[in-house]
Every structure is written in structure tokens, then in C-alpha cells.
Amino acid sequence: MNVERHKTDILILGTGGAGLFAALHAHKANPDLDITIVSKGLLGKCGCTRMVQGGYNVALNPGDSVERHFMDTIEGGKWLPHQALAWTLVSTAIERIHELENEIGCFFDRNPDGTLHGKAFAGQTFDRTVHKGDLTGIEIINRLMEQVWARPAIRHLEEHRAVALIPATDGALAGALLIDVRNGEFKFVAAQAVLLATGGGPTMYRYHTPSGDKSMDGLAMALRFGLPLRDMEMVQFHPTGLLAGPDTRMTGTVLEEGLRGSGGHLLNGAMHRFMSDYDPKLERATRDVVSRAIYAEMRAGRTTKNGGVYIKMSHLGPERVAKEFKGMVDRCRDCGFDLAGGLVEVVPTAHYFMGGVVCEVDTATERPGLFVAGEDASGMHGANRLGGNGVANSTVFGGIAGDVMPHWIAREKPGHRDPDANILDAEMARALHPFGQKYGDLNALREKLLNAMWDDVGVVRDRAGLERGLAAIDAIATELLATGVADAGRRFNLTWHDWLNLRSLTEISRVIALAALKRENSRGAHFRSDFPEPGDLSASWFTMAQQSQHGIEIGERPVEFTHVKPGETLIRDQIAAE
Ligand SMILES: Cc1cc2nc3c(=O)[nH]c(=O)nc-3n(C[C@H](O)[C@H](O)[C@H](O)COP(=O)(O)OP(=O)(O)OC[C@H]3O[C@@H](n4cnc5c(N)ncnc54)[C@H](O)[C@@H]3O)c2cc1C
């Protein structure tokens, strides 16, 4: 089969915060290395880093500390995080935010004394979320993109989709197979090191926030390459997705955490402020708690016209709301809602994926030469990601990957390997599968998946629902294989790419449902109504999913409490002083 062949030293799949930081750091570490970045969309215009609204968690204030940020992360993650990864995240966030300001050129909002302003985010004991208004991601990604453009040595392959990691005949990583979306042709890029940074993205739920280019491709590729995936049951629902009616893509898009953090109220259809019925922290409880409370109101039928609940900000003063949350107010106005002075309908929406590829603190995976960073990686957040820890995660670990890969190449001297021709051919045939099938209604199939995941593998789960969900996913997978894009050409064939998206989503949906069945307790984002208790914290374990010749196997591994044990804290001195 025809495939164009290329070579690079470092191949970076994904151009969000993780991918771009990795490229800049790798180039700085060794400007002689050839670096190629690949994205499914356009540089700076795709992925979720651009969509970051609320901001970036970092302990800068003298009243705050890395230890406090760490404890919030561990407790928010319900004692499931990999503690060394969480510690690296919170401690390196400090140097990364200075780098973003002083080297990358970002402007963030400041206090009158010139220090960086930290806003309140739910689930945190200190207001540490650094931001640029309420559209922080545009500032971060635009400045990163300019820095990458200013370094012509970093090559871009835009509108290129990675479809498979390809080994050499000896099993070692050889590179990745891509499709050039513009002409539909295959490219094989041989690389000494590859970074997986395609950003997860749980877009398989009826309501979801991530960008449309994200369809779990990285995790589907990693699974097929034999890598273990951790915490796959942990899908984060953001409580306040906009509910703008059934026929608009704006439904599901997120209204940022700072709205609740700054004092917004949630009201049900009967205008009752219901959070007091669920949690003493009211609207400032963590995302999982608030999402479940909204879901319970929905199940009880106490809903708004479109089936959600209301967020109300007007009691804070419409002028203040319009000033502090300009982006959110504009977005709501575009959809016919008055956020500053009225009520806006909201619904929980799938937002972030805590699960992902198992990695070390230096971003290495168990396959030499393959690194992972950003939302494709796992372990930092455990059962729940704190709002503001997502973009910190992708920039911190993207930078680390960029530091590490050049040194790894210098030390290991892997060179470039030829791909295993049989596997390369099989992967191309796999990607071309829908061309041999009868044209079918892909959108109807996608709707089936979105509904099955929302109804049975969503905010509240139980065994019967998960088994029903799995049966539905299997039926969708079978139907997908029989659904084609007929004899349409490959050039910019977006139906083909929708098909490929749906296959990745279906494969990973299955792993989510299996991992959710395995966890017979309730932690953070994973709630089983048939097992509502969290289980013994001191005997915490996480799920590990891996593809074997028998199918997907889900195991469990104990959490190592390397820094702090349940019942202990690293901030006792601070608590005593308060
Ligand atoms: C609406 C919204 C608001 C958010 N707000 C916040 C916030 O306030 N604070 C916070 O901390 N986090 C927030 N997050 C989460 C945050 O955006 C992510 O955690 C983070 O940006 C992920 O970075 P990343 O580099 O891993 O992935 P992304 O930035 O999503 O980048 C993924 C990249 O991979 C590419 N890609 C995907 N598949 C392929 C493929 N097959 N081949 C090639 N390329 C591929 C994409 O095109 C893209 O370039 C928000 C997310 C959303 C959706």
C-alpha cells in the first residue's frame, strides 16, 4: 500500500499545551534535533488548551503553599492520585507559570499591588487560580503558537491525523502512521522518540465540552500498542454545561467554575437552591458532588424547561458579573440567556478524562522511546481533577517531556528503525475499512453512543446499567464495522474522519464501562448507586486496563502513599496557625 515516508528525531502527536510546551523545551534542550509536531486541526486553533476558561492553579501567594495545593489535589482525587506525579504537578506549576509570563509572553490578570490575581475555584482551600479574565486558554495557546512559529526548525504537520503507533520487527517503537487529512494519503514518520499528547477528551457523552477534534485517538492507539491505561472509569462531569436546547452545538459547552466559586447559586425548576440538600459546601463543593446533585434533581423531575437546572449570578450585581465574567456573559447572550441579570439553564457535561496512559514522573511510558503528557497521561488527578489543574498538568508535563526526550535520545541512541511492514499494512487496511462498506447513517450511530454513555455509563452508575451500556457499545461497534463511507474519495473526507473518531470513541467507551464495573465502590467522579461507599481509603487501589489476546483485561493495583497517608496532612502547621 502507498505510504510516504518521513524521518524526524522527536515526533509530537498533538499541539495543545502539552505538545507545544514539549516542542519548545525539546528545541531548547537540543536545537540540532529535528522536531515535528502533528495536529489533527490547525496549529493554535484545535484542542482544549485553547478553550481553557477559568485558569491555572499555582501556589504563588505567601499564604498558600505547594503542600496545600498538593493536599487539595490528593483529597480532591479521593486518595487515588499517584502522589509523586501530583507533587511534580503542583511544585513545577510555579516555575511553569513564571515561564509562561516571562519567556512565553502571556499576560495574566493582576492585583492592584502587581502580583498575579488568584481566583476562587471550587474544591480548593485557597484562591490560587491564575487567569486572563475568563478566557485564559486563548492567551496561553496564542503565545505558545507564536513561540513555535518563531522557531522554523520545529516542523508542523497540520491537519494530519495519527492513526497508529508502529513498532519495528523487533517490537521497539519505530514511529507513527498518519493520514494527511487534506489529500487522504498515508504518511509514516520514523522517530527516535514519540510524545503522545492528543489530549484525551470524553466526547462520547450526550453533553460534552471538549473540542470536536478530540476523540480519544491517543488512548485507542496506546491500547492497541499494548500500553496499560489507568483510572479509566474516571470521567469528570462539569456541573454547569450550557443547556441551550437540542439543536445547537452550544449545548454542553461549559460555563466556568469561577461562577460557582465567586458565589453563584444553583436553583432547580421550582426555584429552590438545592445544594444545601446535598453538601455543606453548597455550590463550592467539588465538581463530582455538584454534578451528582444536579443529576439527582433531573432524575426527580425538578427541572427547567429544557431538562436541567438554573445558575443565578444576579445577586452578585449584574455589573460585577458582566465585568468579571465577560466571556461567559457574551457566550450566554449569544444563546439568548442573560447570565449577569437573569437565569441560565445548565446541565452536567462530560469535561475531562482523568484516565490515561500509565507514566513515570519523567513522562516515560513502559515502552522505551514513547512518552506521554497532558490529558492522555494518567495518575496526577486520581478520581477527580481540580478545576485549574488541567492546563497546569499539560504545561508542566509537556515541558518535562521536552526536557527529557533529547537526553533520552543522547543516552540511548535508538536511531531510526524501519517499521514492521506487516503491521504498517494492517494498520492502513484498518483505517481504510469503511471504504469497503455500504454507506450508512454515521450520525445516528454516534447519537446512539452518546445516549448509551450518558444514560448508563455516566454521572451515576450501577451494575445493571453498566451491563446494558456495554451491550449497547458492542452493538454499536458491530454496526460501525458494517457502516461505510461508500466509494467517496479520501481527499478531505470528513465522513471518513467521523468514522475513525467514532471507532476510537467506541473502543475507549468500552474500557470506561469495564473499568466502572470493576470498581465496586464510589470515589470522586465514579459513583455506583449499588456501591455508594468509598471503601477503605488506606487500602485504596486503582484500575489498570490492558489489551491482551483475550480482550481487555481490567486489573487493580494498590495506591502507594509515598508522600502522605489517609488521615494525615502535610499542612498541619498551617492549619494550626489559622
Ligand atoms: C471548555 C473547557 C474549559 C476548560 N477550562 C479549564 C480551566 O479553566 N482550567 C484548567 O486547568 N483546565 C481547563 N480545561 C481542561 C484543559 O483544557 C485540558 O486539560 C488541557 O488543555 C489539555 O491539554 P492537552 O495538551 O493534553 O490537550 P489539548 O489542548 O486538547 O490538545 C490536544 C491536541 O491533540 C490533537 N489531536 C487529537 N487527536 C489527534 C490525532 N489522532 N492525531 C493528531 N493530533 C491529534 C488535537 O488536534 C490537539 O492539537 C478546560 C477544558 C475545556 C474543554
Over residues 292-299, the mean pLDDT reads: 95
pLDDT at 285 (0 to 100):
87
| Ligand 1 pocket test, candidate residues 38, 46, 48, most atoms within 8 A of CB | 48
Which atom of ligand 1 lies at the shortest distance from residue 160's CA? 43
pLDDT at 575 (0 to 100):
55
Which atom of ligand 1 lies at the shortest distance from residue 49's CA? 21
| pLDDT band for position 573 (cuts 50, 70, 90) | low
For residue 164 and ligand 1, the question of a CB distance below 6 A is answered with: no
How much distance in Å is there from the Cα of 336 to the middle of ligand 1?
27
Over residues 170-190, the mean pLDDT reads: 97
Chain segment 244-262, per-residue pLDDT in tens: 887 788 888 889 888 998 8
Is residue 238 among the annotated active site residues? yes
> In this model, does residue 141 exceed pLDDT 70?
yes
Q: Which residue has the cell 497521561?
A: 377
10 Å CB burial of residue 114 (0-12, 13-18, 19+) is exposed
Chain segment 495-517, per-residue pLDDT in tens: 999 999 999 999 999 999 999 99
- At 380, phi and psi to the nearest 5? -70, -35
Chain segment 15-65, per-residue pLDDT in tens: 999 999 999 999 999 999 999 999 999 999 999 999 998 899 999 999 999
Over residues 546-558, the mean pLDDT reads: 96
> In this model, does residue 120 exceed pLDDT 90?
no
Q: What is the pTM of this model?
A: 0.96
Q: Is residue 130 within 8 Å of residue 111, measured between CB atoms?
A: no
| Ligand 1 pocket test, candidate residues 391, 501, 503, most atoms within 8 A of CB | 391
> In this model, does residue 578 exceed pLDDT 70?
no
Chain segment 407-427, per-residue pLDDT in tens: 999 999 999 999 999 999 999
For residue 53 and ligand 1, the question of a CB distance below 6 A is answered with: yes
For residue 217 and ligand 1, the question of a CB distance below 6 A is answered with: yes
Over residues 154-159, the mean pLDDT reads: 98
How many CB atoms within 10 Å of residue 146? 12
How much distance in Å is there from the Cα of 287 to the middle of ligand 1?
18
For residue 414 and ligand 1, the question of a CB distance below 6 A is answered with: no
Which atom of ligand 1 lies at the shortest distance from residue 20's CA? 25
How much distance in Å is there from the Cα of 231 to the middle of ligand 1?
18
User: Rounded to the nearest 10 degrees, how much is the dihedral formed by the CA atoms of 565, 568, 572, 576?
Assistant: 170
How much distance in Å is there from the Cα of 48 to the middle of ligand 1?
3
How much distance in Å is there from the Cα of 50 to the middle of ligand 1?
7
Which atom of ligand 1 lies at the shortest distance from residue 39's CA? 44
| pLDDT band for position 122 (cuts 50, 70, 90) | confident
| pLDDT band for position 576 (cuts 50, 70, 90) | low
Q: Which residues pair with 545 in a beta bridge?
A: 229, 554
> In this model, does residue 452 exceed pLDDT 80?
yes
Residue 374 CA to residue 92 CA, distance in Å, equals 14
Q: Is residue 512 within 8 Å of residue 457, measured between CB atoms?
A: yes
Report which secondary-structure segment, H or E, holds 164: strand 160-167
> In this structure, what C-alpha cell is assigned to residue 526?
465514579
Which atom of ligand 1 lies at the shortest distance from residue 374's CA? 26
Given 50, 131, 230, 238, the catalytic residue: 238
Chain segment 190-200, per-residue pLDDT in tens: 999 999 999 99
| Ligand 1 pocket test, candidate residues 12, 43, 52, 430, most atoms within 8 A of CB | 52
Over residues 61-81, the mean pLDDT reads: 96
> In this model, does residue 77 exceed pLDDT 80?
yes
End-to-end CA distance of the chain: 68
